[in-house]
Copies of this chain bind each other. A is one copy, B any other.
Amino acid sequence: MIADGATLDLEVLLRGERAEVERALERACAWLAEELPDDLFQPARHAVLSGGKRLRPILCVVAHRACGGGTGPAAYDLGAAIELIHAYSLMHDDLPCMDDADLRRGQPTPHTLYGEANTARAGLALIPAASLWALRAATDLGLGATASRAIVIELNRASGAGGMVGGQALDLLGEGQSLDSNQLDRLHGMKTGALLTASLMIGGIAAGATAGTLAGLESFGRGIGLAFQVTDDILDATEVAADLGKHPSDSRLAKSTYVTLYGLNEAAEKARKLVEEATGALRDAQIDAPALIALASYIVEREK
């Protein structure tokens, strides 16, 4: 629980950061408009600009600042590269051959508007585009080739088999099965945690953070990544489709969730404990970042 003053600060922080992130995403889309044939650009633009919490780019810029980086637009461009990966993953998750979802954030999903083949291809195009856009941002930030290389590795590791895609596959595998807490932690650590953690690491790398600081950011990321998913499961179990802006697909498919495993109260307790451990990791690494701590609280206290 954070005090009222901190809550207010967090709201101001989120509003301000989201506005900057949206501007960065507009810049990324202006670039994509040149790169992509219009038939692919339209679904890509729809996916990238149709809202969302923008948690990944915000974590990136806040970590960047916490590690001594500046506040200019290029840091947001770096964060936008990560959001391109997130957007592609949602586009593909929602395809008829995957989860077959027609609604996300209360809006029609791209394939319902632009067709399956073009949406699938637009998503595919965003993966290499994210690396290229991250490298551009790194250049704009004045980073050398070594830091650029490290950023590309983080981004691609988190996007791929050992991260997001691998986690999605485990998720698919787990449908209709009972997973224990270790299996669930592993699944969500990959599916959601890897890209959230990479967001922090990329921000840190861009600011020239030491190995110790990066390790602290990594532990923090792992904790809030799981806390994020536990909270998603709680929201999914307690909210109706209309409030979430999406259909509660996990429960429909009889997947194991933190709520089916622990029940609502114990799940909420687990989320709080994860955030506590995460902020402890920041302290241990001597990272003084009230904004990161506020974001960690937001992750478990958000209502959507």
Chain A contact residues, CB within 8 Å of chain B: 32, 35-37, 39-40, 92, 95-98, 116-118, 120-121, 124-125, 127-129, 131-132, 135, 144-146, 148-149, 152-153, 155-157, 159-162, 165-166, 168-170, 172-173
Given the known interface contacts A35-B161, A117-B97, A132-B156, the answer about A166 and B124 at a Cβ–Cβ threshold of 8 Å is no
- Secondary structure at the A interface, as helix, strand, loop or mixed, is helix
In the bound complex, what is the Cα–Cα distance between A124 and B163 (angstroms)?
12
CB-nearest residue of chain B to A88: B124
Partner of A128, one of B92, B121, B125, B157: B157
Which residues of chain B are within 8 angstroms of A96 by Cβ–Cβ distance? Answer: 97
- Contact at B145–A120, with CB atoms within 8 Å? no
Instruction: Say which residue of B32, B145, B156 sits within 8 Å of A161 (CB atoms).
Output: B32
Q: Within the complex, what minimum Cβ distance (angstroms) separates A37 from chain B?
A: 5
Assembly of this chain: how many copies?
2
Question: Can you pick out 5 interface pairs between chain A and chain B where the beta carbons lie within 8 Å of each other?
Answer: A36-B166, A37-B166, A92-B120, A125-B166, A132-B153
Q: How far is the CB of A142 from chain B (nearest CB, A)?
A: 14
Residues of B within 8 A of A159 (CB): 127-128
Report whether B165 and A40 are in contact in the complex, using a CB–CB cutoff of 8 Å.
yes
**In contact, B131 and A156 (Cβ under 8 angstroms):** yes
Q: Find out whether the CB atom of A125 lies under 8 angstroms from the CB atom of B40.
A: no
The distance in angstroms between the C-alpha atoms of A116 and B149, with both chains bound, is: 33
Q: Which residues of B contact A129 (CB under 8 A)?
A: 156, 160-161
Could you say which residues of chain B place their CB within 8 Å of the CB of A125?
160-161, 165-166, 169
When chains A and B are docked, how far (Å) is the Cα of A86 from the Cα of B157?
A: 20
Given contacts A35-B162, A121-B172, 16 further A-B contacts (CB under 8 A): A35-B166, A36-B161, A36-B166, A39-B169, A92-B120, A92-B124, A97-B116, A97-B117, A121-B169, A124-B127, A125-B169, A127-B160, A128-B155, A128-B157, A131-B156, A145-B145
A96 to B116, CA, bound (A): 11
- Residues of chain B with a CB closer than 8 A to A35's CB: 160-162, 166
Chain B's closest residue to A32 (CB) is B161
CA distance A112 to B146 in the complex (A): 42
Do residues B128 and A173 form an inter-chain contact, with CB atoms below 8 A?
no
Asked if A156 and B128 make an inter-chain contact with CB atoms under 8 angstroms apart, the answer reads yes
Instruction: With both chains docked as a complex, state the minimum distance between the C-beta of A269 and any C-beta of chain B, in angstroms.
Output: 30
List, in ascending order, chain B residues with CB within 8 A of A32's CB: 161
Residue of B nearest to A129 (CB): B160
Query: Considering the chains assembled together, what is the distance between the CA atoms of A129 and B156 in angstroms?
Result: 7
**A117 CB, min distance to chain B CBs, angstroms:** 6
